[in-house]
Structure 1
Amino acid sequence: MRFGVKHYLLKPCNESNIVEALKDVVKEKQNEEEAESYMKLMEEEVTKNTVSEKEEILKQFFLYQQVTDDLKEKMKSLIEEVYPSERFYFCTIYIDSLLTYDHITDVIESIQIQLNESKAIITFIENKIIMMMSTSIPEEEVNLLITCLLQPHEHEYSIVSTPPFAKENIDKIPKLDEMIQQLFYQPTYTVINHQSWLSFHEHLSADLEIDLEKIMFYLKKQQQQQAMQYLQNFINKLKRHRISPKVTRVYFIQIYLLLMTRHSQYTTENRVQAIGGELEDLQHLTEYVEFFENLFNRMIEQVEHPKKYSQVVKQMLQSIDEQIENSELSLQWLATNCLYMNADYLGKTFKKEIGQRFSSYVTNARINKAVEIIEEEQDIKVFELAERLGFGNNPQYFSQLFKRMKGFTPSEIIRSNERD
């Protein structure tokens, strides 16, 4: 009995009793093992659900731009539970190529196996794996682990680690875009440690302006190198002031659109399609630099080898250039005084080959000419410009038109040149 034997035998014994006793022992043992297995399974399921809930809270916290009070409270509770007396930090893996769901979950599972699961919560949003970890897990160890997991598969990736946070600093946790903002200025296969991250974000953003007309002026003069140097100087300012990638992309789109307006063969639809096509896939600053370098080369080439127009349109373009300062210049005036042809025919032919109405082309030409004059004669007055370019004694209308097309007034350009 002291050995836990429930059934014991006495002599003389009955064989059938022995068999029944053994069956009872085996059955009881099986029941105990099944109960133990069931309890273990339930514990694993509870743990799994708890981890999934933690991962979901972490994902939602970084997924939404505006964090609700309820979500913030959940995040606070999560931090209190996992890191009650420890500091924690975030490590983000940015993978250039989109991975399948199974592949990402495999990577996450491999990381969890290697790390202390109770101190690391891992989730993902698209091609970004986000890890919240205790500072007891060194970031160097994490970086080495990630490299070993991803490099054999030839994935292009970068790793960003934030400085440590305390549970009281939940409001200081950066948004996901802010967390990986520095990657925009870095090549792939970049590892950014928390010191580098902190140094990058210590600089405050500043409002910057770019004189797009200078780029246009250089390109019209076929000075590609000067145009590229001016753009590069502006990019260096963006880097120094830590302008966010979103704002930087807006600057580049503005530059692109303005440059495209100089080429009449590009319609509004063409420009929108180009933004969705040529610019959409660019991810890093170096790619934008290469894009504009190629664009400048193409535009210079178009200036050197212009599109061939019919003889009639060539005469119209030449007449516009010669009469740009004539306040009476119009399609009807040109047809009557220069080409002696039907105005309707000239208008349709011009629109077909140039892609713009005659009046729009003349207005663009006058405003572009005004920019050139300002660059060459920096002390010129606005009323002199208006009178010289065919706007008569209406400098106010000229300034309004100029601002609508260029985004700023001629006076602002003149003052900017004076400061330079």
Structure 2
Amino acid sequence: MYKILLVDDEVNILEGIAAIVDWESCGTELSAKAQHGQMAFEIIMDQQPDIVVTDIKMPGLNGVQLIRKVHEIYPEIRFIVLSGHDEFEFAKTAMECNVKHYLLKPSNEQKIEKAVKEVVDDLDEEQARQAFLENMSEHLKKVMPKAKEQFLKDYITNKKYGVKDWEYYSQLFEIDTDTKEFYLLVIEMEDSYEYEHLLALKKIMVEEVGETYIPLETTIGDKIVILVELPSREVIIDKVKGAKQSFHSFYPMDYTVAISDLGSISQLRHLYNETLHCLTQRFYVSGGSIITPQDIKKDRSSMEELQYDHEDLIFAIRSGNQEVVQQYLDDFFSEVWKEKYAVSLFRSHCLELFMSMIRQADRKQMDDYFRQVILFQEYEKFHEMRSFIEKTANEISQYHYERTKQTQSTIINRVVEFVERNLADEDLSLSHIATEVLYMNSDYLGKLFKKEKGERFSSFLINRRIEKAIELFELSNQVKIFEVAEAVGFGNNPRYFGQVFKKHTGSTPSNYMKKEYKNL
């Protein structure tokens, strides 16, 4: 337990605090009490308590003087101040002597116990840290490499470490470096791997870059972190490429390397976060890439929002126009690739796009696509996300194309059937069929007919009338030409029928009948 000295010139307050505070529950013991500053100083010199709880206004040596005097001799002793006044002089002393707890009187036992516990926590932490340092010093030679790795890891991940800690540990670990600025390399494996692969890659990278240029290196989670003091990023990139060749000769595995900007030790956490941001851009690059902050620095205003509503895409999907669908997606993904939008923004946008697309599918398809949403979130590469969206869009577009084609075929079949039943009607026309039979736009019906049959309706009708006329001539050589003309829709105009017949067959109706008669 930590020893506490309680100081107050008012005996009632001194004894009251001593009695009501549960010192043991705070992890302490009240080892002594003093009724004035000089008495407190003598006890401190004799017993050296861990914590001093003291009043400010006291006769002779007051609280401020006591703190200053003790701090010069025992800076590790912690002070908790009790005072009825908020004094500037004390505030200045508190800053100089690292006094963190100032309680205004009257203070109940809960406030005092809370302050004591906080000081105890600080002392525990300091003791743990000191114990770690002492233990590390004893086994330094044996565990030096691991200790260095741990230090770099802690320095990057623990905000409590500062430049003074760096100076201390640099001496402790005999880190020999003349430079004040470094690059930070952070390496992450692309595929599934064993821990031995990570260690092998780190070893190869260190050897390639050169141990003399690497003050420290470590692993943080699944990432290799290397501090480098080479003169330029270009030199580092060349070294990294060399390491890649060496590693691939042993393991055919990809990894991505992020190289920070140049920065000082005080900026080390910033450099690490910078490389982590670079690694988020792995989404847009292939395995084995080297990414620097310059590769991803863009005008942030252009990256705030991904401005696409995709109405044109949804319309093309519903129309079954796969060519337009693919062109639209090519343009969209090219824009995303160029701007390198934040991965979270792009992923969220693609999820919204996916949901909009699957609403165009039929019920069974929609249920199947909903189950794929989980897989959607697992894609870690741009090309995977793009392929997924394109596949979905093309599948749903194909569904609408087939459905539209089937509907269009049904409509055209109805047109053909109506023509067959009404071939003798000289007023038969596409406009009549569209408005009176199918109740649709005649221009649109004309386009559908040409798309389905490969010819205009007018050509189809003339050809079908001539074919029907030939069938009638072949049935009997006694049939009259004007009767055939009337039967196939030329009315009482056999002369015009003869002209059209000759144009299509190369023979007049009468000659055609004679030729057929001779062949009988």
Taking structure 2 as the reference length, what is the TM-score of the superposition?
Answer: 0.43
Equivalent positions of 1:232-243 (< 5 A) are 232-243=330-341
Tell me by how many angstroms 1:223 deviates: 1.9
Q: What SS does the corresponding residue of 1:109 show, helix, strand or coil?
A: helix
Post-superposition CA distance 1:61-102 (Å, at most 9, x none):
3xxxxxxxxx22426556554667421112232322121123
| Residue 74 (1) aligns with residue 173 (2) | no
Tell me by how many angstroms 1:268 deviates: 8.0
Report the Cα distance in structure 2 between the residues aligned to 1:259 and 1:76, rounded to whole angstroms: 54
Distance 1:149 1:143, change over 3 A: same
Q: What SS does the corresponding residue of 2:387 show, helix, strand or coil?
A: helix
Higher strand residue share: 2
Whether contact under 8 Å (1:112, 1:120) holds in the other structure is no
Equivalent positions of 1:1-400 (< 5 A) are 42-57=139-154, 61=157, 71-74=158-161, 76=163, 80=167, 81=170, 85-113=179-207, 115-116=210-211, 119-126=215-222, 128-136=223-231, 138-139=235-236, 140-170=238-268, 172-173=270-271, 174-192=273-291, 194=292, 197-204=293-300, 205-265=303-363, 270-277=368-375, 279-306=376-403
Of the two, which has the highest radius of gyration? 2
Tell me by how many angstroms 1:145 deviates: 1.8
Structure 1 unmatched runs, 5+: 1-40, 62-70, 308-420
Distance 1:299 1:269, change over 3 A: closer
Structure 2 unmatched runs, 5+: 1-137, 405-520
Residue identity opposite 1:72 in structure 2: K
Residue identity opposite 1:182 in structure 2: Q
Whether contact under 8 Å (2:187, 2:255) holds in the other structure is yes
Report the Cα distance in structure 2 between the residues aligned to 1:281 and 1:151, rounded to whole angstroms: 30
Whether contact under 8 Å (2:189, 2:254) holds in the other structure is yes
Report the Cα distance in structure 2 between the residues aligned to 1:211 and 1:264, rounded to whole angstroms: 22
Percent of aligned pairs sharing the same letter: 12
Tell me by how many angstroms 1:274 deviates: 0.7
Residue identity opposite 1:74 in structure 2: Y
Report the Cα distance in structure 2 between the residues aligned to 1:75 and 1:230, rounded to whole angstroms: 52
Whether contact under 8 Å (1:57, 1:75) holds in the other structure is no
Distance 1:299 1:77, change over 3 A: farther
Whether contact under 8 Å (1:91, 1:132) holds in the other structure is yes
Report the Cα distance in structure 2 between the residues aligned to 1:172 and 1:165, rounded to whole angstroms: 9
Report the Cα distance in structure 1 between the residues aligned to 2:282 and 2:164, rounded to whole angstroms: 31
Report the Cα distance in structure 1 between the residues aligned to 2:221 and 2:355, rounded to whole angstroms: 32
> Match for residue 425 of structure 2?
none
Distance 1:241 1:113, change over 3 A: closer
Distance 1:95 1:170, change over 3 A: closer
Instruction: State the Cα RMSD in Å.
Output: 3.3
Residue identity opposite 1:252 in structure 2: C
Whether contact under 8 Å (1:87, 1:167) holds in the other structure is yes
Report the Cα distance in structure 1 between the residues aligned to 2:250 and 2:329, rounded to whole angstroms: 38
Whether contact under 8 Å (1:156, 1:188) holds in the other structure is yes
Report the Cα distance in structure 1 between the residues aligned to 2:274 and 2:203, rounded to whole angstroms: 24
Residue identity opposite 1:181 in structure 2: T
Tell me by how many angstroms 1:262 deviates: 2.3
> Match for residue 387 of structure 1?
none
Tell me by how many angstroms 1:303 deviates: 1.7
Report the Cα distance in structure 2 between the residues aligned to 1:129 and 1:89, rounded to whole angstroms: 14
